[in-house]
Structures are given as structure tokens and as C-alpha cells.
């Protein structure tokens, strides 16, 4: 909470005022994350080595957003921003990582519907910049997803290794076979 200054296990343990501030902070962070991806998985800002590793993604996303928002926003861009905001509200309530895909799709819609970027055939430099930023984001997103899946798999393997093997028959035949085969 407060950009990583206060750590907590469950928001229900926080005093009422801090809990409401925590709700608001999480909604703001989830709304900013598609446009400025500077938060880690627990809501703290990226720092040190992590920030350096993801700096191309952060910079590309911010620049692409800035280019797309340069002119007056279109109706479709406003709708995309509303999707990001509503998704931020629902993500905090439901907390599903899959919901982030909706925000990223809305971000793509926001960029794609920009009138400035829609006329890139007149300005070759803008076309090259936008394509370069999009490629950096694509590659960065692939690397980020791969890293997060590997990290998640490591946690699951560690937890799986800690499961007790004594008395595994109480889990049932299927669990007994899985534990005996993969241990």
C-alpha cells in the first residue's frame, strides 16, 4: 500500500480508513498499469534491476500512449479509457490476472483509434516510430508473460514439493498416483 511502503497480508486486517484508501489506490494502479506499466505483481513500483529490465516496455507504452493522445480524443478512445477504468474497478473486486487482457485490448483500441496515428502515411517518421514502439511492446509483452509464467511455475513446483507424502491415500487414488509419479 502507498506504493509499497505499507505491507499487508489481507486488506480486511487494515483499519477502515486505510482499507478504503487501499481500495482507491488499487483501482488507480490498475487503471494506470496498461498505460504506464511500472507496478509489480504486488502493487509496488518497479525498482532497481526490475525497472531497468522493463524500461523499454515502460517507455514504449508511455510514448505510444502520448502519441495516441496528442490530438483531441475520439469517441472510441474515450470508450477505451472507460473500459480501462471499469476493468480497474472489477479487477480489484474479482482479482483475476486474466482481466488485465481487457485493459490491454482497450489500450490497443485507444492507440489504434487515434486520429494522429491513423494518418501516418503522410508522415513516414511517425510510421516508423509507431511500428518500432509496437514491436518493442510486443516483444516485451512476450518476455514479461514468459517470465511471469516461469515464476508462477516455480512457486507451484515448490508448493508441490512440500506436499506430505505420508498418508497420501487419504487424498484419493488420482492424487496418490500424481504424487507418486511426479515426486
The answer to whether residue 178 sits within a structural domain is no
Residues in the chain, overall count:
183
The answer to whether residue 147 sits within a structural domain is no
Q: Answer whether 0.75 is exceeded by the pTM.
A: no
Q: pLDDT band for 134, please (50, 70, 90 cuts).
A: confident
Q: What is the 3-state secondary structure (H, E, C) of 13-47?
A: HCCHHHHHHHHHHHHHHHHHCCCCCCECCCCCECC
The answer to whether residue 163 sits within a structural domain is no
Say what the pLDDT of residue 156 is: 80
The answer to whether residue 179 sits within a structural domain is no
Q: pLDDT band for 168, please (50, 70, 90 cuts).
A: low
Return phi, psi of residue 139, to 5°.
Answer: -65, -40
Say what the pLDDT of residue 183 is: 60
The answer to whether residue 40 sits within a structural domain is yes
Q: What does the pLDDT look like over 37-87, one tens digit per residue?
A: 888 767 778 887 777 878 888 888 888 888 888 888 999 999 999 999 998
The answer to whether residue 146 sits within a structural domain is no
How many domains does the chain fold into?
1
Give the range of the structural domain holding residue 63, as residue numbers without chain letter: 11-129
Asked whether the predicted pLDDT for residue 176 surpasses 70, the reply is: no
The answer to whether residue 157 sits within a structural domain is no
Nearest to 60 by CA among 145, 143, 134, 147: 134
Using CA atoms, how far apart are residues 110 and 18, in angstroms rounded to an integer? 33
The answer to whether residue 47 sits within a structural domain is yes
Amino acid at each position: 500500500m502507498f506504493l509499497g511502503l505499507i505491507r499487508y497480508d489481507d486488506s480486511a486486517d487494515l483499519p477502515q480508513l486505510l482499507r478504503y484508501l487501499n481500495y482507491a489506490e488499487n483501482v488507480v494502479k490498475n487503471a494506470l498499469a496498461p498505460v504506464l506499466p511500472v507496478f509489480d505483481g504486488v502493487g509496488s513500483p518497479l525498482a532497481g534491476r526490475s525497472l531497468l529490465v522493463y524500461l523499454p516496455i515502460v517507455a514504449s507504452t508511455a510514448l505510444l500512449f502520448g502519441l495516441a493522445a496528442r490530438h483531441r480524443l475520439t469517441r472510441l478512445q474515450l470508450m477505451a479509457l472507460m473500459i480501462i477504468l471499469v476493468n480497474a474497478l472489477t479487477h480489484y473486486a474479482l482479482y483475476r490476472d486474466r482481466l488485465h487482457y481487457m485493459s490491454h485490448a482497450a489500450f490497443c483500441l485507444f492507440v489504434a483509434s487515434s486520429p494522429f496515428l491513423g494518418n501516418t502515411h503522410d508522415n513516414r517518421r511517425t510510421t516508423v516510430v509507431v511500428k518500432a514502439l509496437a514491436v518493442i511492446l510486443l516483444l516485451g509483452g512476450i518476455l514479461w508473460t514468459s517470465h511471469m509464467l516461469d515464476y508462477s511455475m516455480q512457486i507451484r513446483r515448490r508448493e508441490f514439493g512440500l506436499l506430505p507424502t505420508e498418508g497420501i491415500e487419504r487424498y484419493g487414488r488420482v492424487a496418490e498416483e500424481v504424487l507418486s509419479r511426479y515426486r
